[in-house]
């Protein structure tokens, strides 16, 4: 149980275009999902916390107008990178908190590798 | 500020034992996770500690000392597939995860 999927697994796009990444909880309902970014040889950096039915909470330094997050249902959150630039190239990972667990374990999606040319 | 320290890289031999340390200074503590991450993949859960002491799970064990702000992950009977990065993460006062930079573990035959 507690499987999280992401789509696409990798994407290459031209500078200036927008890219949408989907994160789905397959066998549970996730009221809270998290979006991370990881640059090579660095740790995960939390970008935002996505709550179903409400606006996402962005971490300091993350542009909410550039990284649009929509958590429209209990099983789906999307991250849209708008007007992508080469510096946005990174590994984007979503995770979901499983409700009802005694501790705050997060289950991770497989990640999406974004390359902006 | 909030800080989690781990060694950047460690090398060990197949069949041996290795201990990966993690020290933390955070505003609040609600538990500590260890995750394994293979290159190009997302992290996978290894262990969770919230009380002092040792948690054993097969070849992997995790220890926590809250008073010292210290944890370690112990890997026994190392296998080549254990070559990965090991991430220490602390649940802070606002229940968000604070991540260490990870320790790259290299296993040699």
Test B101 with A46 for CB contact under 8 angstroms: no
Q: Which of A33, A44, A101 to mutate to test the interface with B (most CBs of B within 10 A)?
A: A44
For residue A43, give how far its alpha carbon lies from the nearest alpha carbon of chain B (Å). Answer: 4
Cα–Cα distance, A73 to B83 (Å, whole number):
37
d(CA A51, CA B97) in angstroms, rounded, equals 16
B69 touches chain A (CB under 8 A): no
Among residues B101, B103, B74, the alpha carbon closest in space to that of B86 is found at B103
More reliable by pLDDT, A43 or B13: B13
Hey, are the CB atoms on A43 and B30 less than 8 Å from each other? no
Helix (H, G, I), strand (E, B) or coil at B94: coil
Contact B97 A110 (CB under 8 A): no
Q: What is the pLDDT of residues A3-30, one digit of tens each?
A: 899 999 999 999 999 999 999 999 888 8
Q: Provide the percentage of residues in chain A whose pLDDT is more than 90.
A: 62
Question: Is residue A46 within 8 angstroms of chain B, CB to CB?
Answer: yes
pLDDT-based confidence at residue B102 (cuts at 50, 70, 90): very high
Residue A98 is predicted with a pLDDT of: 74
The SS3 of residue A87 is helix
Residue A102 pLDDT exceeds 70: no
Give the gap in angstroms from C-alpha A103 to the nearest C-alpha of chain B. Answer: 8
Q: Which of A42, A108, A113 sits opposite B43 (nearest CB)?
A: A108
pLDDT exceeds 90 at position B73: yes
pLDDT single digits (tens) A52-87: 888 899 999 999 999 999 988 889 999 999 999 999
Q: How far is B13 from chain A (nearest CA, A)?
A: 23
Q: Which of B75, B77, B79, B76 lies closest to B103, judged by CA?
A: B75
B8 has a pLDDT exceeding 70: yes
Average pLDDT rounded to a whole number, residues A92-116: 83
Please answer yes or no on whether B101 and A42 come within 8 Å at the CB atom. Answer: yes
Instruction: Supply the mean pLDDT for chain B.
Output: 92
- The per-residue pLDDT of chain A, averaged, comes to 89
Question: Pick the residue with more confidence: B28 or B20?
Answer: B20
What residue of B is the nearest CA neighbor of A97?
B96
């Amino acid at each position: 149980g507690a499987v999280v999927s992401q789509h696409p697994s990798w994407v290459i796009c031209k500078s200036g275009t927008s890219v949408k990444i989907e994160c789905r909880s397959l066998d549970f309902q996730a009221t809270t999902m998290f979006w991370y970014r990881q640059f090579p040889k660095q740790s995960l950096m939390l970008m935002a916390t996505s709550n179903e039915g409400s606006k996402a909470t962005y971490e300091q330094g993350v542009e909410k107008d550039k990284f649009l997050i929509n958590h429209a249902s209990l099983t789906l959150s999307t991250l849209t990178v708008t007007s992508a630039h080469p510096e946005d190239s990174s590994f984007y990972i979503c995770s979901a908190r499983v409700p009802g667990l005694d501790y705050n374990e997060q289950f991770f999606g497989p990640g999406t590798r974004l390359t902006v040319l | 500020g909030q800080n989690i320290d781990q060694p950047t890289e460690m090398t060990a031999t197949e069949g041996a034992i290795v201990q990966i340390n993690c020290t933390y200074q955070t505003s609040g503590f609600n538990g500590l996770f260890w995750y394994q991450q293979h290159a190009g993949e997302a992290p996978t859960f290894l262990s969770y500690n919230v009380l002092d002491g040792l948690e054993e799970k097969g070849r992997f064990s995790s220890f926590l000392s809250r008073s010292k702000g210290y944890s370690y992950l112990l890997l026994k009977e190392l296998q080549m597939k254990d070559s990965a990065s090991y991430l220490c993460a602390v649940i802070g006062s606002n229940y968000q995860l604070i991540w260490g930079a990870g320790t790259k573990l290299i296993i040699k035959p």
